[in-house]
Each structure stands twice: as C-alpha cells, then as structure tokens.
C-alpha cells in the first residue's frame, strides 16, 4: 500500500503495525481501518493504540468482514479450509463492539454494505483462481484445487454479466 500511495497528497505515510503506531498521543482525528482487522495479531493491543492515538472526539472507522457475514461470501462454501480459517480470525460484530466499548469508545454507526466484487461470475472466478482472498492464499494447494473445481462448476451455471457482491460491515466508533 505504501508503494502505491499518492505522494502528491499532503498526507504522512508510515509503515507500522496497528499494535504499535508511530504516532504521538491524541494526534489523529480519524483512523480508517479497511479490510485488515482479521489480520491483526492482537486486537486488544490495536484498540489500546487507537485509544492512545485518536483525539477525544475523534473517530475510528472499521470496514471488515465479520463472522456474522461469513456464510454470505459466495466462494467460502466451496473451500471449507478457508472458511475454518476465517471463522478463527474474523471478529464478530458483538466482539468488535465490546473491544471498543471496553476502551471507552461509543458506537456511532454500524452498517452492512454490499460491495461490488466483480462485473459478473466470470470476473469473480478469476479473482478466486488468482487466490486474491487472503484465506485462499493460506490453505494447502490440494485443498484449493478441490474447492476450485467445485466453485468453477457452480459459478459456470450463473448468468453472465450480472455483478457479484459481497457484504462487509462498517463501524464508526467515537472516542
């Protein structure tokens, strides 16, 4: 992400872990965490860092898949190993709320958004074949091959040119 960053924009970029932010205390107004929550090593430490770095009155936006939505991702039913991995690492809505509330945040909003993933099943198949979903990158090749065969058979029967969507939860927590 840093390599693709637009350096012409007046924004400071830093490589860091969410559990150890290179920011002074109470120096940011908004933190935007997008599609990364399930990669955290220590969610409690990340929330503690956000509590430290976000000014009182500031906000944390979290855009993430949750356990509550796991069954609505079209590819997961064909890759049980991927589903099991995501079930271990994805937060539940209740759990995510509890982490932020325990740290003194209040929930300002929560919505489930249907994000467009592809222009049709053919494009979605390409994303799955390329293992563009992190859970597919982490399962054994033989498990991926078995799931891919089942997924391709299912998705080939879908009408072409119909956009494919996946749900994602968006939370806003106020400090």
Q: Determine the angle formed by the axes of helices 80-89 and 141-156, rounding to 10 degrees.
A: 110
Give the model confidence (pLDDT) of 100-134 as tens digits. 999 999 999 999 999 999 999 999 999 999 999 99
Contact 157, 54 (CB under 8 A): no
CATH topology of domain 28-174: Rossmann fold (3.40.50)
The beta-strand segments (E) located in 42-101 are 54-64
Domain ranges within the chain, ordered by starting residue: 28-174
Give the model confidence (pLDDT) of 78-106 as tens digits. 999 999 999 999 999 999 999 999 999 99
Q: How far is CA 154 from the centre of its chain?
A: 25
Angstrom distance (rounded) from CA 102 to CA 85: 26
Please give the helix or strand (H or E) that residue 97 lies within, else none. Answer: helix 93-102
Model pTM score: 0.89
């Amino acid at each position: 992400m840093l390599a693709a960053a637009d350096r012409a924009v007046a924004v400071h970029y830093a490589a860091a872990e969410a559990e150890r932010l290179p920011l002074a205390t109470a120096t940011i107004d908004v933190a935007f965490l997008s599609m990364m929550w399930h990669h955290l090593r220590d969610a409690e430490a990340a929330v503690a860092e956000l509590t430290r770095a976000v000014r009182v009155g500031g906000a944390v936006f979290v855009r993430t898949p949750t356990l509550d939505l796991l069954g609505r991702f079209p590819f997961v039913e064909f890759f049980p190993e991927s589903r099991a991995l995501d079930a271990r690492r994805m937060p539940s809505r209740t759990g995510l709320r509890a982490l932020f509330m325990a740290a003194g945040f209040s929930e300002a909003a929560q919505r489930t958004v249907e994000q467009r993933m592809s222009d049709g099943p053919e494009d979605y198949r390409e994303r799955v074949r390329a293992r563009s979903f992190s859970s597919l990158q982490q399962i054994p090749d033989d498990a991926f091959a078995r799931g891919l065969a089942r997924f391709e058979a299912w998705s080939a029967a879908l009408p072409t040119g119909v956009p494919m969507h996946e749900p994602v939860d968006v939370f806003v927590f106020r400090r």
